[in-house]
Structure 1
Amino acid sequence: MRYAQYIKSRLLIVAAFVFPALVSINGCKSTATASATATAPGAIVTDDAALAARVKQALAADPGLRSLPMSIATYRGVVQLSGYLDSDVQIQEALAVTGGVAGVHTVSNDLHIRPK
């Protein structure tokens, strides 16, 4: 009798660990992404690395922005510019150039004027 209780308690302990693991594994199942199918016809579907490269290229082509230290981060067409520039004119120019790049949906401005 004692052996049966021992086995029941061990099975209960094992079940207590295995059941949550099995339930959580189901949450790891991959699903098809809707981003490629949700875009409108003719919309430019690009990956973030290519978009960041195009933005960097556009900023480097502008003589007034070429040598300025800016960080560029992209996520699904949203480009975030961050860093410290010398004037508000430079910030507005950087935002305008970035917004003109194909594939950019939104520009997030985290640029600041450098303290003097």
Structure 2
Amino acid sequence: MNYTTRAIAIALVAGATLVSTGCAVVRNQETVGAYVDDAAITTAVKAKFVEDKTVDAGAIKVETLNGAVSLSGFAKSSTEKAQAEYIARNTKGVRQVLNNLSVRP
């Protein structure tokens, strides 16, 4: 993946993340600062998924609330599931990872 394609992919992930998580503050689930931090964590995790060749970023949904990252969707193997969790755990700001990925052959 060349630099321009990677930059566009990361920008699209960031935009989609912000749009899809926009109502959390309205529902009083967290403060504006915590919401911004959670959106940044979600974006960072998704960007790392895009960069990693072993994880299908399009098949994994990432949601963050108060530093707890929830992974859902489908992985092609237990190795991909474990790698997705590893990436999320090693992202700055992540306090906890809930790996709800299903392995689908």
Same fold at TM > 0.5: yes
- Counterpart among 6, 30, 46 of residue 56 in structure 1: 46
Of the two, which has the highest radius of gyration? 1
Q: How many aligned positions are there? A: 74
Give the percent of matched residue pairs that are identical in Structure 1 and Structure 2: 32
Q: What residue in structure 1 maps to residue 12 of structure 2?
A: none
**CA distance in 2 between partners of 1:67 and 1:48 (Å):** 18
Please report how far the alpha carbon of residue 68 of structure 1 lies from its aligned counterpart in structure 2 after TM superposition. 4.6
RMSD of Structure 2 on Structure 1 (CA): 2.3
Partner residue of 2:75 out of 69, 72, 85: 85
Measured after TM superposition, the shift of residue 85 of structure 1 is 1.1
Give the CA deviation at 1:67. 4.8
Q: Distance in 2 between matches of 1:105 and 1:99?
A: 8
Is the Cα contact below 8 Å between 2:56 and 2:75 reproduced in 1?
Answer: no
- Check the 8 A contact 1:68/1:85 in 2, yes or no: no
Counterpart-to-counterpart distance in 2, 1:111 and 1:103: 21
Q: TM-score scaled to structure 1, two decimals?
A: 0.57
Is 2:68 the partner of 1:75?
Answer: no
Aligned partner of 2:84 among 57, 74, 94: 94
Q: Structure 2 stretches of 5 or more lacking a match?
A: 1-30
Deviations 1:54-73 (A, max 9, x none): 11111111111145510000
What's 1:113 paired with? 103
Runs (4+) of structure 1 exceeding 6 A deviation are none
TM-score (norm 2): 0.62
